[in-house]
Amino acid sequence: MATPRPTSVLTSSQIVPIMKTIISKFQAMQETIIQTVTPTTACFSNVFQPWADASNEVQAQLGMISLLGYAAPSKETHEAVKEAKRVFNTAEAAWTARRDLFVLLKAAAAEHEELDPESRLWVKVRVQDFINAGHGLLDESVIERYLRVRSRIDGLREQFSRNLRMENGGLWIDEGDLDGVPELEIQRWKLGEAANEGKRFVPFANGELKTILAHAQKATTRERMYLADQAKVPENIDLFREVTCLPDSQARLLGFPSHGEFRIRNRAVKSITYVENFLKHLRGSLIPRGRDELLKLQRLRIEDLKSTGFSTDGDDGHFSPWDLEYYKRMMSLEKNSDEGKISQYFPLGPTVVGMLRIFESFLRLRFVLIPSNKLDANSIWHEDVFPNSTESTCALLKHSEVVTLFHELGHGIHDLVSRTKYSPARKLVLDEDILKELSCHYTTLDSRYLTELLKQNPGAPGPPEKIPDDLLDAIIGSRDRFLGSVVSIFDLKIHSPGSHEEIADLDFAKLWYDLRAEVEGIDFSRLRNEGHEHVTFGHLLSGYDMGYYGYLSATPLPKTFFSRPLQRIQGVKRYGDATDKGF
């Protein structure tokens, strides 16, 4: 086996200079085009091909810089990435404002040469970038102003996302208020000193919030934790409003009735009306089911309160959001679908290997384990993301983590197996809702690797090789789409208002919690004034605007792909067609 190529991880001091070098390459390429090509001589080979070559040359470095903005452990690196993105956005706005460049792109596109599908797409996207900036519609001064605003929007979005990534809040909670929380969880939390003596610091992130909500017996503890989490990242409130209102103004400047109409053109579904009808139908199906489930939880809650001596007078119709996870867990125990039992079927190492084996079978791939002595330090990302295995324990994945891992791994596999002429082609070719489809279609369970677990405990009864039917039914039954539906409806409403004044005057928090109350049937009245959960949901401002419905529309796809489990021919053909050339 060949030694893998070392990973080129950039230092914080290298990032901005490298970005400036990338910009200079694009600028040199564009100047060469402008100096050597005229509208009458413009064609694919002297206008679009040089642009494609420059993009291919710098894509690896751009990708690394982008990755470091999410995954780097040092603050200095994050600051450098922020500055690099600002510099690039400024340069991109400057060259997109050039009418002389647009004239040549448009002239070359008008040649209608015989091109392969990828090249035709490259032409379409490059020209559309300039049209989206107002070329052919607005005069040069308005285009420059439009692009300045667009750069501002990009910067605000980056700040919004960065605030979420850097959020490290939590609560100091008295150990006496943590009754019911597993001791192993409590011991992981920082122990307080001085004024916080006898307390534990419970972070909001990394599943700790859910641990409190699901296990803490005291309702006041759950309430405090939930309300504090709903009020985190207050600096994102104004950012959210501005990043929602500015794109609406921009879209109207280009002649679109809303930002949603501007964005829907780049989706597989080209009609907002279609999305509205889809979400309306889904809501009509979800709400009755949700009310039935909530009624069962409410009965369990009343029984629990009575058994512990609390009054329930006038409380039958009230269900607080901080009680949801607690009573869902209690009900799961009754249904034998305890999260702890489920996680025993998904140890981290065998689960990842099992996923790769599915891809091997499904896509005719082969993954080879590289010995650790052939890997350099930069080849492994954050070894402490999950706890290390010991002689008696191993890192276990919750079912939701398995689904997330499989989903995100799908994007990685898509990049891995795509064979394109142009480096960004995979993202350019596929509409965002189709990308969601391709990353969801293989979400199915294969427990053959469980036999390896039994080898570690010879003679012990252990779990059965396959997840029992009653446990599997409970998992499937607990998969609700309520929050996904809320986010999708909220996304639709804030990006397709009837007028700009409507979005400028909108009470975003009230809309968010009204939708949650309507769809979920839970009492969010207190949150309308105290909470702003909508500004903690990064997807809405990170490229998924007017597209979050794609997560919901992709959900039924596994039934199509897996009409017969792991059907290789069907899977290879459909997935291969979609990924081979980026389609």
Q: Which residues are bridge partners to 200 per DSSP? A: 173, 191
Render each residue's pLDDT in the chain as its tens digit; 583 residues.
Answer: 566 665 667 899 999 999 999 999 999 999 999 999 999 999 999 999 999 999 999 999 999 999 898 888 888 999 999 999 999 999 999 999 999 999 999 999 999 999 999 999 999 999 999 999 999 999 999 999 999 999 999 999 999 999 998 899 999 999 999 999 999 889 989 999 999 999 999 999 988 999 999 999 999 999 999 999 999 999 999 999 999 999 999 999 999 999 999 999 887 788 899 999 989 998 888 889 889 989 999 999 999 988 887 776 666 678 999 999 999 999 888 766 667 777 888 888 889 999 999 888 878 899 998 887 887 776 666 666 666 666 666 778 887 788 888 888 888 888 888 888 888 655 555 555 555 555 554 444 434 434 544 455 555 555 555 556 555 555 544 445 688 899 999 999 999 999 999 999 999 999 999 999 999 999 999 999 899 999 998 888 887 888 888 878 776 655 555 555 445 545 555 555 555 554 4
Query: Cα(209)–Cα(30) distance, rounded to whole angstroms?
Result: 51
Q: Which residues pair with 561 in a beta bridge?
A: none
pTM of this structure? 0.83
**Position 438: which residue type?**
L
Contact indicator for 488, 541 with CB cutoff of 8 Å = no
Which domains, from first to last, does the chain contain? 12-136 (1.20.1050.40), 168-230 (no CATH), 342-375+387-479+558-579 (no CATH)
User: Is the Cβ–Cβ distance between 539 and 377 less than 8 Å?
Assistant: no
User: Which strand ranges, in their side-by-side order, compose the sheet holding 199-203?
Assistant: 170-174, 199-203, 190-191
Cα distance between residue 536 and residue 483, in whole Å: 14
Q: Which two tokens stand for residue 284?
A: 């009509």
What Rg, from alpha-carbon coordinates, does the chain have?
26
Torsion sign, CA atoms 391, 397, 399, 402 = negative
Residue 25's identity, in one-letter code, is K
pLDDT reported for residue 494: 97
- Contact (Cβ atoms closer than 8 angstroms) between residue 212 and residue 181: yes
**Cα 54 from Cα 292, distance rounded (Å):** 57
What is the pLDDT at residue 478? Answer: 47
Compute the C-alpha angle 30/77/544, nearest 5°: 65
Place of tokens 């690196």: 77
The whole-angstrom distance between residue 411's C-alpha and the CA centroid of its chain comes to 11
